[in-house]
A and B are shown apart, each in its own frame.
Chain A
């Protein structure tokens, strides 16, 4: 950690990883970092939330049980409507993705908490999990028929060979990238923006003199306005990630469109 006064205001520093426990296996450094810690916190929160809210198993749900049920039905409906009834096999996977990203994003909004999804490798790994699942399921279920995906019907042959199939292949290949960068960039930009405006408050209050100190109110208002927006983005990105996963799984299950 840099102790120079300028460093703590640097909006990029919040993404730094710090080793909490040094672990080295072979040539790989798999130290337990603040990111790992937040991942564990997110998983523990999700499990505790789902476990404690369902201990009573009441027929008429209480407040917490209601929330848990809503999250369940929300994701289940999403999977059912986009990937069909047979897509429900992957419901736990989509639900895990949704909750993990949602909790990681939301917890990351708490000041001084790290956001694991603000690192491209994490979102890319999640996107690759989806991609690999789609590929395995696609070829497992349909064999080579999965390649139907790149051969949409109702298009003239020439146009198909020259344009449509290459485009379909490119769009399929770029899915993990778009899938991961969308989430990562949103988290990164949101956090930079929040940190930037928050640091303006301190910079103006400390750096300016006299009545100009009151100018710090402007970035304060901005920070307050941005926070609900970021909460919305945190939820929305988890939702988008989950629903795109359902859409991709639908491609794997029903490649013929």
Chain B
């Protein structure tokens, strides 16, 4: 047996005993029958059991992934909202603090002003009282000056002219002179 004869046998088909098996029509019924049977069973099992099963797994996974993505985006949205709310409350608090400071300042100012006014009035009253007192004292003092001048003038006149003079006359003169000289 050599390679050459094998090659020749292959090239010439099988001329010796049997026909070429793939073209042997006597086997066709059997092949067709078993092909349709096995392929039919396969098709049935695939369509009814196996492919729905496999497709179910794939669908479940893609649903799960879609769900997870949804959840993730929802959570992100919630986080954003929370962030916004935080900013809002922060700025609110800031505004409120500002307000409080402002009103406090205003009320303190009002109070301060009222007290200042009271204090001013008190001061003014006291000044007025002091002024009247000073006025009175000055008048009294001025009155005394006239008296002293009158008495001094009387003494001077009595000493210089050795003559008695009425204190009333002196007083009138002094008064007249004082008015004239201012």
Residues of A within 8 A of B (CB): 2, 5-6, 9-13, 15-17, 23, 28-33, 35-36, 39-40, 42-43, 46-47, 50-51, 54, 57, 59, 61, 65, 68-69, 72-73, 91-93, 95-96, 99-100, 116, 118-122, 125-126, 129, 184, 188, 192, 196, 199-200, 203-204, 206-207
Contacts of B24-61 to chain A: CB distance below 8 A: 24, 26-36, 38-39, 41-43, 45-47, 49-51, 53-58, 60-61
Contact across chains for A73 and B58 when beta carbons are under 8 A apart: yes
Residues of B within 8 A of A (CB): 1-3, 5-7, 9-10, 13-14, 17-18, 20-24, 26-36, 38-39, 41-43, 45-47, 49-51, 53-58, 60-61, 64
Contact across chains for B22 and A30 when beta carbons are under 8 A apart: no
Neighbouring A residues of B20 by C-beta, 8 Å:
12, 15
Contact across chains for A50 and B50 when beta carbons are under 8 A apart: yes
Q: How many angstroms between the C-alpha atoms of A206 and B2 in the bound complex? A: 9
Q: List 30 A-B contacts (CB under 8 A).
A: A9-B1, A10-B6, A10-B14, A15-B20, A15-B22, A17-B30, A28-B29, A28-B30, A29-B30, A32-B30, A32-B34, A36-B30, A36-B38, A39-B34, A43-B38, A46-B46, A47-B50, A50-B51, A57-B53, A57-B56, A69-B58, A72-B54, A72-B55, A73-B58, A95-B46, A96-B39, A121-B32, A196-B10, A203-B1, A203-B2
Nearest CB of A to B16, in Å: 9
Neighbouring B residues of A46 by C-beta, 8 Å:
42, 46
Whether A40 contacts B43 in the complex (CB less than 8 A), given A50-B54, A59-B64, A203-B6, comes out as no
Which 6 interchain pairs have the tightest Cβ spacing? A36-B34, A92-B47, A15-B21, A39-B38, A30-B33, A28-B29
